[in-house]
Amino acid sequence: MFTDNMLMTPDFDEEGYLRYALHASNCKAEQSRLAACSAAVRENVHNILSENVEDMLQQLSAASQAQRGVAAARQAAATLMHSTSRLRHTIQEPYRLISANVTKLRNANAAINTLQCVMKFVGLTTRLRSLLPDDIAHAARTLREVEDLLQTSDIKGIDVVRRRIDIVEKAAAVVRAKAHDLLRHASAQNVSDVATALQCFLAMGSTSRVLGGFMTEQKREVMKSLMRELEVQVILDEVSRECSRVSDTSEVTERTREIILSHLQTALKCTAKYTNVVVVVWQVVARRTDPITQTPYLSAVENPTSFLGDYWHFITDKLLERLQALHKQPNLFAAMATDALRYRLLFTSFLADVRELLELIEQLTELDTLCARQGNLVGGGANHCGVEQLRRMWLLQMTNEVSERFAGQIMDRHRERMHDIISKLHSIVPSAGNRPLPNLSVDLQRPQIPAAVHVLDVRGYVTLAMRDVVEYQKDPQTLSAVLNCILQCVRLFLLAVPEATRRCALPPLPSVAAEVTAAQMLHICICNACAILSMDLTVLLASLPNDDSNDRTNLTEELVDARRLSNAAGEVARGTTAEEPTLSARGIVVDKHRELLDIAVKLKNISEETVKPFFKSASVLLLDSISMCIDGLYGQEAAGVSQLQSQMRHFMSHFYYLFNPQTPTLDDSVRQLTDSLIARLLVAASLVHPFTKDLQQHLIICLHQIPRVVLSFGPNTHGTVGRSTIVLKGQVHQLLTWYKLSSESLESPVEGVCATLATLPPVIARLLLLQRVACSSSTVWSPPAVLGMQTGAFIEIVESTVLEGLRADLSPVDEPVRRVADSAPMAARIAEIMGVIEKCFHEATEFPDQDATRASTVSCMKCLWTQLKQE
């Protein structure tokens, strides 16, 4: 059902209402309802109009005014269009006439230009024909003008031009062919031809492209020569043919090495030949300019550094590729490593041949760096790499594997010899124990060192080392490898020696009165081996460079370069690594020299420490024999001297001659032992009491015979006697003179006797005076008794005092600090002993003596004591 509101809505459904009304039962009611709704709508419309009448009137006025403005504008536009039409009609005809004339003039000008181009083309082609084939430089410039003319003007369709195009094309072919030929046959003798060819390419604008093709062609030739000369199968076939005729292994290796190195030498020479062509061309490019335009040839090349850098890297890569293929063949690789020095020299010679190429690379790299700094990047700004650094890095890259194999071969040979020595070191002492070794004495009349003491054949090893050093000392790289092998092998020996000595240690005082034991033989062999090895290493090192300051400076500079180059990834240094130790082979040689010198000193110390126990034991034995001889009775001197001589001869024949004569400190040990024996003779003789006629004759005989036995110690070729021994010998002579003085002689002028005593050590002189005055009194205290010690201990103290005083007197003047340091305790000891002796002397002289005949002797001794004290 439709409500009243629904009838008055804007979206009233009329059709629906009609269908509804037609079926309604009361039409009149519906009509009245429609009338009421219509009246309500009318009333609402009237109310809305009444409320908005003012606004609607204003809108109506505005619309009317706008309509009038539009009509006026249309009228003005129509008038303007009419005026424009009239003006266009007035101007259009003259414009058409002028435009037609301009077209005629343009066509005439085009015809004239075309005619001029044709005439120029005809003239250029005529000139081009006359220049060829002699003057290709001017012909190239003329050809460039023709090409520019054809590109800037459309005259190719003209018959005259079309008929002459063939002349241009043929001339271009002739110029390019001849220029390429001049470039291809470049050498140091025809630099002008290279400049002519570059002038042609610069004129034709194809310098960069032509140089790229030229470098590609040279690379191709290098690759062909390397493939031809370093083909593995070709070398193997040649080796097989040559070695089938011989059976000796060393000769097979030698022939294999010769074949490989000859092929390598030929390959490097061919590469250097093609590289020299490249160098000649690029030297002209880098240093010359076009004579007409003054344009540098280098400015016409795009990224010139990359051309040379790529060429060098190409050579490096192909050489490495061929060498690695050869290294994969064990027999070829081993043969190459046997002559690493010549192998390295081949590459060093090759680097000398292509040095100018590396210098060019360096110059172009510096130029690129300068351009990069100035903000005008022309060549990429590659990292700078000096020629020397580049040569070292490249040489290392080429020779590293062979050098390592060479070092391995040297090490194997050296270790084999050293292991043989070490194995003999462990076999000297048998498993049965430390038993004596009979028949190991030396005939003193014809001393000949037994072969058993030289069972450790270190001299054979040093001979091998010396041969290798002499052979490879010209090249620091191979020399450093040899020295490293020597260093490691000697260190192995140094490690084995303490182990052997600990296994068979000697007591502090080894027995030297019996036969030589196996343990003693072990130590003697070690002593001889260390002495020989130390001396031979010193001789070997004397032939090596040891300019420590210069080499250390060079090493520092090269290490700085190495660190800088290791971070550089530029085109020139691509694919290489700067290894610091290898970059300074001379520095490594100096380091190895120092280490080997330290080892030589250690070997010398081992030898010295090994000798000392034997001489110390001999010293104890012989010193006791001298004391026993002095303490013996009158008439038994021959037995004591004979025993001393027998012990000396036994030590010399069974021990002394077993040591190598050149053992360090051996002569010093002999001299020290001789000095100790003579000093013991002096001290022991001065302490014997009571002093009687028989004792005086006994001492005179001992002083005559014992020095002759002592001074015969050592070989006849021992050399000159030491200064200290000469002084002690003179003191023995003065002591003998003293003992030969009778009681009447002592009463002679005191000055003469005092002069005799003054030549003796002060402590000995006073002991002699005490000996004379105390000889008749057995109750006087002796100096050992006063000090509360045994006579033997006192003798050792006085003996050491005498020797230290002698050493202080004979020490060099340029050692004042050492002399002062040594003299301080010695002076205190002498003062104490001298005080005790003086006390005993005064007690002896003040003791009442029942023998009146001794009074004159005591008086004389007092005068001598006073005189010595005053001096």
Chain segment 522-552, per-residue pLDDT in tens:
888 889 899 999 999 898 888 776 554 444 4
Q: Please state whether the peptide bond connecting residue 436 to the residue before it is cis, i.e. omega within 30 degrees of 0.
A: no
- Please give the biggest Cα pair distance in the chain: 205
What's the CA gap between 6 and 704, in Å, rounded? 171
Residue ranges of alpha helices (H) inside 443-475 are 458-472
What's the CA gap between 485 and 74, in Å, rounded? 115
Nearest-10 crossing angle of helices 762-774, 791-810:
140
| 794 in a structural domain | yes
Q: Which of 486, 498, 328, 322 is nearest to 418 (CA)?
A: 486
Q: What percent of the chain has pLDDT over 70?
A: 83
Work out whether the CA dihedral 666, 668, 671, 673 comes out positive or negative: negative
Do both 75 and 42 map to the same domain?
no
User: Which letter does DSSP use for residue 383 in this model?
Assistant: P
Q: What average pLDDT score do residues 656-669 get?
A: 83
The pLDDT value given to residue 485: 92
What's the CA gap between 447 and 441, in Å, rounded? 9
Do both 128 and 228 map to the same domain?
no
Q: What average pLDDT score do residues 84-108 get?
A: 85
CA 780 to chain centre: 77
Q: Which two structure tokens, joined as six digits, stand for 50?
A: 């009444």
The pLDDT value given to residue 653: 82
**What is the average pLDDT score of the chain?**
79
Residue 250 banded pLDDT, cuts 50, 70, 90: confident
Does residue 229 have a pLDDT over 60? yes
Do both 24 and 79 map to the same domain?
no
The pLDDT value given to residue 781: 60
Do both 216 and 327 map to the same domain?
yes
What's the CA gap between 294 and 264, in Å, rounded? 44
Q: What average pLDDT score do residues 362-387 get?
A: 65
The pLDDT value given to residue 55: 86
Question: Using CB atoms within 10 A of its CB, is residue 357 exposed (0-12), middle (13-18) or buried (19+)?
Answer: buried
Residue ranges of alpha helices (H) inside 288-386 are 304-327, 330-338, 340-353, 355-373
- Cβ atoms of 380 and 305 closer than 8 Å: yes
Q: What average pLDDT score do residues 53-81 get?
A: 89
CA 326 to chain centre: 28
Do both 25 and 89 map to the same domain?
no
Which residues, 6 or more positions from 196, have their beta carbon under 8 angstroms from its beta carbon?
A: 136, 137, 179, 182
Do both 676 and 572 map to the same domain?
no
Work out whether the CA dihedral 156, 161, 166, 169 comes out positive or negative: negative
Residue 578 banded pLDDT, cuts 50, 70, 90: very low
**Of the given ranges (59-68, 338-347, 859-868), which has the lowest mean pLDDT?**
859-868
79-84 long-range contacts, CB within 8 A, separation 24+: none
Does residue 129 have a pLDDT over 50? yes
Residue 584 banded pLDDT, cuts 50, 70, 90: low
Residue 432 banded pLDDT, cuts 50, 70, 90: very low
What's the CA gap between 367 and 384, in Å, rounded? 10
By three-state DSSP, how is residue 436 classified? strand
Does residue 300 have a pLDDT over 50? yes
Do both 316 and 346 map to the same domain?
yes
Does residue 573 have a pLDDT over 90? no
Do both 369 and 493 map to the same domain?
no
Do both 585 and 676 map to the same domain?
no
Residue 263 banded pLDDT, cuts 50, 70, 90: very high
- Cβ atoms of 861 and 845 closer than 8 Å: yes
Does residue 580 have a pLDDT over 60? no
Do both 761 and 711 map to the same domain?
yes
Do both 550 and 499 map to the same domain?
yes
Question: What is the count of structural domains for the chain?
Answer: 5
DSSP β-bridge partners for residue 436: 517
Residue 220 banded pLDDT, cuts 50, 70, 90: very high
| 669 in a structural domain | yes
Does residue 378 have a pLDDT over 70? no
Q: Higher-confidence residue: 298 or 432?
A: 298
What's the CA gap between 869 and 88, in Å, rounded? 156
- Residues in the chain, overall count: 871
The pLDDT value given to residue 747: 62
**Of the given ranges (191-205, 371-385, 478-492, 674-688), which has the lowest mean pLDDT?**
371-385
Range of the domain at 32: 4-51
What's the CA gap between 445 and 362, in Å, rounded? 75
Q: What average pLDDT score do residues 790-808 get?
A: 85
Q: Which of 572, 576, 578, 583 is nearest to 360 (CA)?
A: 572
Q: Which two structure tokens, joined as six digits, stand for 20?
A: 């509804």
What's the CA gap between 338 and 257, in Å, rounded? 8
| 654 in a structural domain | no
Expressed in percent and rounded to 5, the helix, strand and coil fractions of the chain are 80, 0, 20
Q: Which of 418, 589, 424 is nearest to 491 (CA)?
A: 418
Q: Please state whether the peptide bond connecting residue 450 to the residue before it is cis, i.e. omega within 30 degrees of 0.
A: no
Residue 86 banded pLDDT, cuts 50, 70, 90: confident
Residue 852 banded pLDDT, cuts 50, 70, 90: low
Residue 150 banded pLDDT, cuts 50, 70, 90: confident
DSSP class per residue in 722-786: PHHHHHHHHHHHHHHHHHH--HHHHTS-HHHHHHHHHTS-HHHHHHHHHHHHHTT-TTSPPHHHH
The pLDDT value given to residue 567: 45
What's the CA gap between 450 and 456, in Å, rounded? 13
Which residues, 6 or more positions from 440, have their beta carbon under 8 angstroms from its beta carbon?
A: 450, 452, 515, 516, 521, 654, 658
The pLDDT value given to residue 224: 92
The pLDDT value given to residue 385: 55
The pLDDT value given to residue 575: 37
Q: What average pLDDT score do residues 13-19 get?
A: 79
The pLDDT value given to residue 819: 45
Q: Which single residue is written with the structure tokens 């015979």?
A: 705
Q: Which range in 298-307, 481-490, 734-743, 779-788 is most confidently predicted, on average pLDDT?
A: 481-490
Q: What percent of the chain has pLDDT over 90?
A: 12
| 438 in a structural domain | no
The pLDDT value given to residue 379: 43
Residue 447 banded pLDDT, cuts 50, 70, 90: low
Q: What average pLDDT score do residues 660-686 get?
A: 88
DSSP β-bridge partners for residue 289: 296
| 388 in a structural domain | no
| 415 in a structural domain | yes
How many CB atoms within 10 Å of residue 759? 16
In tens, the pLDDT along 606-625 reads 989 988 998 899 899 999 99
Q: What is the pTM of this model?
A: 0.67
In tens, the pLDDT along 452-489 reads 777 888 888 889 999 988 888 888 888 888 999 999 99
Residue ranges of alpha helices (H) inside 518-574 are 518-542, 548-566
What's the CA gap between 722 and 672, in Å, rounded? 9
Q: Is 294 left (phi over 0), alpha (psi -120 to 50) or beta?
A: left
| 657 in a structural domain | no
Residue 272 banded pLDDT, cuts 50, 70, 90: very high
The pLDDT value given to residue 315: 92
Q: Which range in 108-117, 174-183, 270-279 is most confidently predicted, on average pLDDT?
A: 270-279
Three-state secondary structure readout of 208-270: HHHHHHHHHHHHHHHHHHHHHHCCHHHHHHHHHHHHCCCCCHHHHHHHHHHHHHHHHHHHHHH
The pLDDT value given to residue 582: 43
| Amino acid letter, 842 | H
Q: Higher-confidence residue: 18 or 275?
A: 275
Residue 277 banded pLDDT, cuts 50, 70, 90: confident
Do both 779 and 840 map to the same domain?
yes
DSSP class per residue in 74-120: HHHHHHHHHHHHHHHHHHHHHHHHHHHHHHHHHHHHHHHHHHHHHHH
The pLDDT value given to residue 130: 65
| 153 in a structural domain | yes
